[in-house]
Structure 1
Amino acid sequence: MSVGSDVILDRMMALHPKVIDLVLDRVWRLLEALDRPEKKLPPVIHLAGTNGKGSTQAMLRAGLEGAGKTVHAYTSPHLARFHERIRLAGELITEEHLTAILDECYAANGGKVITYFEITTCAAMLAMARTPADFTLLETGLGGRLDATNVVEKPALTILTPISMDHEQFLGNTLAKIAGEKAGILKRGVPCVVGPQPEEAMDVIEARAEALGAPLIAHGQHWHAYEERGRLVYQDETGLLDLPLPNLPGAHQIENAGAALAALRALNCGETAFEAAVSEAFWPARMQRLKEGALCESVPQAELWLDGGHNPAAGEALAAHLARLPARPTHLICGMLNTKDASGFLKPLAKQAQSLTAVPIPGEANTLPAVDLASMAQNNGHTTAISETVTEALHTITEKDPQARILICGSLYLAGHVLRENT
């Protein structure tokens, strides 16, 4: 009897005692056993950054596909199913294909120590190397320099989205240290599109690029993107683009779109690509409006939103987006991991929300207890409550205000649980 991908993924989880262990030795060993699939990938665009990687990748993929190109895409973490991480020539990997490729990698690894992310990244590269496509989009999991995706010797292009404080326990406790890790994806002579950066991070990126002779295509220097009269204006030395606003909501998506457009320009794509990038992208749990599904049906008059952002910069972006929405009483349902800067995330949201209901993240060992999260929220100006589940929180909020706007936020893991619950 054949086993499914979930069973093999569980086996892979047991191959290393730590979830995160940043070295590349184990990846190189397994890639060698698999006959070096990273050398056989279609031209690679490698993305790193703290915020906006997924959205930028989604817009870039939409643009390339709009130009008639076939695109592989690798992203993490997944929300509802692991298959979301691997897209082959535009389509999510099938269960049959995923099971076969995981099985092959598990066997090739021979029971040796390797992290879950490392072995599944090798599996993704093996599947992508065997499937024809025009481009491969690789998104780092954590950092860049020692990330399992950072094994491609000569990508076609690299992209650094905005860098901010996150994962300090692994990447360092200053912006300069974190930027140094992220800038580890730069390669000699390979152009790098750079999104908006704090000065401290930009100084590190520029020094790294100069050392490697990697041309930068930087926001504020080589390209600009902004909203004007309800349109997106993108400008670089090639000329000006007048486009619709991104279909991914939030003012921060304008700069993410700018990075995607800068990449499309660098790849010599045409007008069709630019229009598709801003109009056709889809990226779940990034200020996603939930309009149908079991949770929506349980609170039919409420306006439901979902977002997986979890650091201070994400809190700022969410607060800015809520401020631009039509006036309506807004309530937050929030669950976070204990490894995140909860106070930094919560503080900017206090002015936009009438209440915050803290919930635990189901099935997550590192969930921040709801009582602790509620206490942090209260210290940052929120009116708080505690619920055991998202469903309970929804019903408690809508009993008092059936037409409330409710944003479920704080963690991609919570967002994945909500998407599964809402099917």
Structure 2
Amino acid sequence: MNEMVLSNARLVLADEIVSGHVRIRDGRILEIGTGAVPAGAQDCAADYLLPGLVELHTDHVEGHLIPRPKVRWNPLAAVLAHDAQIAASGITTVFDSLRVWPDKKAVGMDGDAPVLAGAIAQARAAGALRAEHLLHLRCELSTDTVSEDAEALMDAHEVRLVSLMDHTPGQRQFVSIDQFRAYYMKKSSISAEEMDIIVESRLDAHARFAAANRTRLVAAAHARGVVLASHDDATDAHVSEAISDGVAIAEFPTTQEAARLSHDAGIRVLMGAPNLVRGGSHTGNVSAQSLAQEGLLDILSSDYVPSSLLWAAFDLPRRESGISLPQAVRMVTKTPAGAASLHDRGEIAPGLRADLVRVALAGDIPVVRGVWREGTRVA
């Protein structure tokens, strides 16, 4: 029997904050107490104690694999560096969001998902991971072999989430083709002539592949019990399609209309934590804060900055007086866990996994002081 007590903490529970202690036994929360401090307890010095964060959508690992253009890092080393930063950010469950985007002209896209999935499996088998890593496939519908590539990954690995993406210019994230051109020309340092070719190619690929790929991927995910997410929904038609496909999560809706329709349909609305802490979308779409104001924000995701997830949980109640810290914390713990059918974590409650984060504040910025995954300290 392995037992530990964390005491003198501000426990962020589902609906309230209480001062007390948590007793952990064999990786599970045994009890929550507010009375006398048990002998041998670890003193948390009145810091906050939160459930371990649950991250559903982050491509952060890809930046470790390709830290500079034309530079490829050892995949296992990339995964371990990514994992260390994830754990240090208070994230105990992470869905590594791997691009399934078979485009041989796109540096860092073609072939990386199998390589990274294999490296994650290798690290897991070696017992080298701090956080629990699950797989999320970000499937670009307007590509020729995305369905067969994704199905191969689902058959080889335990994929838990699939998102249906379509970055064709002129819709969803980039309603304006000029906006698409400007964004990617700056990001990729390509010429206007090269961009003309890309736009024409993307439009052609959408017409040829998107509808069939969506139908096949939806069927493949449902057959394997994999949770589905839509991506960058903007219109009533997009949301109606998501409802028809049995989507559970709406990732980054680009308009308030799409967010409201998704929320009303019982689809969990996920927005980026960087969007919240920065005060808006970096591509000019709807802001996470405006959705929170309307009660339409369910889940926050760190997207590309792991530390933003914890920061957003503390920042949102400061921005919106109608949202409490426990409510904000649910957006990064219990709600994403439930949306992904992980009902054994996401809350400080007896019987659940002892995934915990000790947090102090430096001004308005949260500082991670300790992280436990199933009762074992990992950061």
The reply to whether TM is greater than 0.5 is no
Larger RCO: 1 or 2 (CA < 8 Å, sep 6+): 2
Q: Which has the higher strand share?
A: 2
**Taking structure 2 as the reference length, what is the TM-score of the superposition?**
0.33
